[in-house]
Amino acid sequence: MPAPNLQELKKILVQAGFEVYRARGAEIQLAERPRDNLIMDAGITICLGEPLRIRLAFRAPKADFPGESDETLFHRASKLAATPIARGFTEAERRTRHLPDPSDPSRILDTWYEVFFERAFSGVDELLAELPVLLQLDKTASR
């Protein structure tokens, strides 16, 4: 059976009880609700194609760990992925992301040190079964 397209998979996810944060191109980002009136990116992206993939983002904010080296911050983010690694996810990318001040884009408020992990899935059912576990994970390092 061929992989579903963006709209089909989005509909499947919603019917299965998941919230979509954003869907564009060949990716669907899931949402989480820390409170009823707040929706946030869950750090989980479903990548369409053959095979379907899940991409997870783990981060360490520089503002929470002043004075620590880049490598230490990447290590903090990577440590959060112990459960996904045990479930077959592998590291795909490391990058830094600067968060500009909305009122003054030339001013950087924080820098996130992000580590991404991915895993391919043989079908939608297998992917859906994995999502509840991933939604429970802490994806941001804290003191």
Q: Write down the pTM of the prediction.
A: 0.91
Other beta carbons within 10 angstroms of residue 71's beta carbon come to: 10
Helices and strands (DSSP H and E) totals, the chain? 4, 6
**Per-residue pLDDT reduced to its tens digit, 57-86:** 999 999 999 999 999 999 999 999 999 999
How many domains does the structure of the chain reveal? Answer: 1
- Partners of 30 in the β-ladder: 20
In a domain? residue 70: yes
| Mean pLDDT computed over every residue of the chain | 94
Give the range of the structural domain holding residue 40, as residue numbers without chain letter: 6-135
Q: Is residue 36 part of a domain?
A: yes
Whether omega before 51 lies within 30 degrees of 0, making that bond cis, reads yes
Q: Does a structural domain hold residue 142?
A: no
What percent of the chain is modeled with pLDDT above 70? 99
143 assigned to some structural domain: no
